[in-house]
Each structure stands twice: as C-alpha cells, then as structure tokens.
C-alpha cells in the first residue's frame, strides 16, 4: 500500500491497525475545487473530490507492475451557517475558529479514495479499481476561555490542523462528545474503510 498523504496522524492510524504503508505526498492544488457552475461543493463532495485528486496524483507517479493500492484522504471541519474551517492562517485565525466552536457542535468530513491494481473490473484490467467514499462525525465542544485557547496555542500549536485542533491532542479535554468514528475526526475513518483494506 501507498499512503498518498503527508499526515503523520493518518500514518499512525494505519500502523495502529497493522498496516505499514509507503508514503508519497501528492502535489495537488486544493484551492480551485468547485461545482461546474462555480458554486461551492457540499462538504462531502469537496472531501471526496480532493481525496480522489490526491490518489490519482500519486498513482500517476508510480510505475505499476505489481499488485498495489493507493489510499488518499482529505478532512475538513464544517460548521453549518459558517462553512468550512480549514487550517488556520495564523494565531488570530486559530483563536477565531476556536471561539466559533465554543459550546457548540460541528461536523468533521473525511473523504477517502482507494485505487487498487490489478483491477477487479472484468472490462478493464489496465486501470485501477476505484472506491471513493466519505464519513461524517459530529464533535461537541464544551466551554473554555480565551486563556485556555492561548495556552493551547502555546503548548500544542494547531496550525497544520483543520479547525485549529486535534481530537487526540491537548484540546481533547474540551471535547464533550463525538458522534461517529473518532478516528475519522483524527483524519482517517477506519470503520468505513477497514473492509476494503483487511
């Protein structure tokens, strides 16, 4: 297996379940994803589209001559009425996001694309089989102060994390409940993909 992601959290999840993939980081522009009419995609379509792009970008780097699977994923934090909360631009942006999420719930979408060869299709044995799916978890935050946020930013900087937090890090103390797969919130929905990998 090749993991098409530079995320150490996705790699950790796979290793925790007994899979130790090679890693290739895809070179994909994530800024121009929209519907054919130019409107924003729904969150589930956005993550699936980006995961698929990442998987194919890595697939095209490989000289496929042996059985192979490429796994790519994309995770976003989405708050209805606000929209997608990506990786924070800076400290001020991280504070803004975490203040928006205080005492509320939000959704975490992860899209996954799996390309595998030899193809399982009887009609095309030269191209990989493709599976694209998404998973959704709802995360509930409790109350916290600006001082809590500033302490977190100092001790566990979240600048590479969508929504400015990690479910497995220091900020987990402020998560009151997760409805759905916790590993989906971390970055890879194991429950949704396990049957394809094992």
Exactly one of 12, 29, 32, 74 is catalytic; name it: 74
Q: Which residues, in sequence order, are bridge partners of residue 22?
A: 2
Q: Is 74 a catalytic residue?
A: yes
Measure CA of the first residue to CA of the last residue in the chain; give whole Å: 12
Rounded CA gap, 130 and 138, in Å? 27
How far is CA 1 from each of CA 102, 105, 115, 119, 148, rounded to the nearest angstrom? Answer: 39, 35, 10, 15, 40
Q: Report residue 146 as tokens.
A: 């600006």
User: In which element (H, E) is residue 134 found?
Assistant: strand 129-141
The catalytic residues are 74
């Amino acid at each position: 297996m090749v993991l098409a992601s530079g995320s150490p959290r996705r790699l950790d999840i796979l290793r925790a379940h007994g899979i130790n993939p090679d890693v290739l980081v895809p070179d994909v522009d994530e800024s121009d994803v929209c519907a054919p009419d130019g409107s924003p995609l729904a969150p589930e379509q956005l993550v699936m589209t980006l995961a698929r792009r990442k998987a194919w970008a890595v697939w095209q780097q490989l000289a496929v001559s042996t059985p192979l699977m490429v796994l790519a994923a994309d995770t976003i934090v989405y708050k209805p009425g606000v929209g997608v909360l990506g990786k924070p631009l800076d400290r001020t942006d991280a504070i803004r996001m975490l203040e928006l999420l205080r005492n509320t719930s939000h959704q975490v979408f992860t899209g996954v694309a799996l390309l595998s060869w030899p193809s399982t299709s009887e009609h095309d044995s030269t191209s990989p089989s493709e599976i694209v799916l998404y998973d959704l978890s709802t995360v509930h935050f409790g109350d916290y102060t600006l001082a809590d946020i500033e302490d977190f930013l100092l001790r566990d900087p979240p600048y590479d994390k969508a929504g400015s937090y990690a479910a497995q890090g220091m900020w987990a103390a402020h998560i009151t409940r997760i409805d759905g797969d916790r590993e989906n919130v971390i970055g890879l929905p194991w429950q949704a993909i396990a049957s394809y990998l094992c």
